[in-house]
Amino acid sequence: MTTTLLRTADELHARVRRGRRAVVMTMGALHEGHATLIRTARGIAGPDGEVVVTVFVNPLQFGQGEDLDRYPRTLEADLKVAEQAGADVVFAPSVEEVYPGGEPQVRISAGPMGERLEGASRPGHFDGMLTVVAKLLHLTRPDTALYGQKDAQQLALIRRMVRDLNFGVEIVGVPTVREEDGLALSSRNRYLSPQERRTALALSQALFAGLDRHVALEALRARAREVPATRARAEALSALGESRAAADAHAVAEATPGNPAAVRAAARLVLDDAARFDPPLRLDYLALVDPSDFSEIGDDFTGEAVLAVAARVGATRLIDNIPLTFGAAS
Ligand SMILES: Nc1ncnc2c1ncn2[C@@H]1O[C@H](COP(=O)(O)OP(=O)(O)OP(=O)(O)O)[C@@H](O)[C@H]1O
Ligand SMILES: CC(C)(CO)[C@@H](O)C(=O)[O-]
Ligand code: BAL
């Protein structure tokens, strides 16, 4: 398969559409995470449809002092990755092509969800991101658009925009692709020195520590449901001198409340440790949130949640997250 490079909206519009169109939006510097999105898009579009990959470093979503100028731009290599993964078209417009009148005066507002976590650390980021996503959806007119779970808040906001503003496009989320040691693939990983990369591993390790604690507590919780009179049982076992069994039954009885706090604490321990590494990890946030609005979940929360982390290592800011389900088994 040969991938066609298009640079202008006119070229894109002149292209005769065929079958189902699936779009993957990127800022370039493509890696295996992007390739996975493109392969998934190929599967959705099928052999008779088409896959369009956009490559555009959007100035609108970068704040002052962020890495807009040094963000890697590697179009030649990107074309090869896109082609190998099955893209029909790479649409790589210039800034002037996307914003012909300069910065747009009318923009999408991300609302309250866009002010939390990433939005609090990067004011205006999500307005700029949604504005370009809206433009790219209008330019590429896909049936389906795919985004990575790695940028969970971005994915949630795009879903919200599409629903709230009736964009009429299917949004598909793709699970995070990781290195073998757990580090989430990210274009910004290429900024890291080997020492910084070692420290950066703490992000995913913290999430997995939170996940391990979560799995253990959910198992206890499920057992608590099976044994209704657990506290009474613990006391009875204790009275009989069965101290280990009593301690176990006690843990089951106490497992129900406080799971989110315990998950946060387990992750936090790993991050606190990494704050003492050389170079140190500087935590921006660790949060356990409801993915429908990215607000912190309470101790009695049940359903899908996201454990999210953002931190700086040297001059590089990285994010990662992991989905967790509370009270799954009933
Ligand atoms: N490791 C990954 N797994 C799955 N999807 C990913 C991964 N990394 C990026 N993506 C997705 O690829 C799309 C384009 O992302 P982008 O070009 O910003 O790459 P990135 O690696 O996230 O870069 P950055 O370092 O800027 O965060 C987004 O939908 C993003 O969520
Ligand atoms: C969705 C996106 C391409 C918009 O610029 C960007 O935020 C990204 O690469 O995740
Ligand atoms: N990967 C999300 C885009 C950004 O960091 O600007």
- Name the active-site residue from 13, 34, 125, 250: 34
Q: pTM for the full model?
A: 0.92
Asked if residue 186 belongs to a known ligand binding site, the reply is yes
Residue nearest to atom 29 of ligand 1 (CA): 147
pLDDT of 36: 99
> Is 63 annotated as a binding-site member?
no
Taking CA atoms only, the protein residue closest to ligand 2 atom 4 is 129
User: Annotated binding residue at 33?
Assistant: yes
Whether residue 250 lies in the annotated active site: no
ipTM for the predicted complex comes to 0.98
H helices within 255-317, ranges in order? 259-274
Mean pLDDT (whole number) for 28-37: 98
By most ligand atoms within 8 Å of CB, the mutation choice from 54, 108, 133 for ligand 2 is: 133
Q: Determine the length of the chain.
A: 330
- In tens, the pLDDT along 235-282 reads 766 676 766 655 655 655 555 546 899 999 999 999 999 999 999 999
Relative to beta strand 170-174, strand 281-290 is unpaired
CA gap 115, 126 in Å, rounded: 8
Pocket residues for ligand 3 (CB within 6 Å)? 61, 151, 154
Mean pLDDT of the chain: 93
Per-residue pLDDT, 27: 98
The ligand 3 atom at the shortest distance from the C-alpha of residue 62 is 6
Nearest CA to ligand 1 atom 14: 26
CA angle, corner 260, sides to 254 and 262, nearest 5?
60
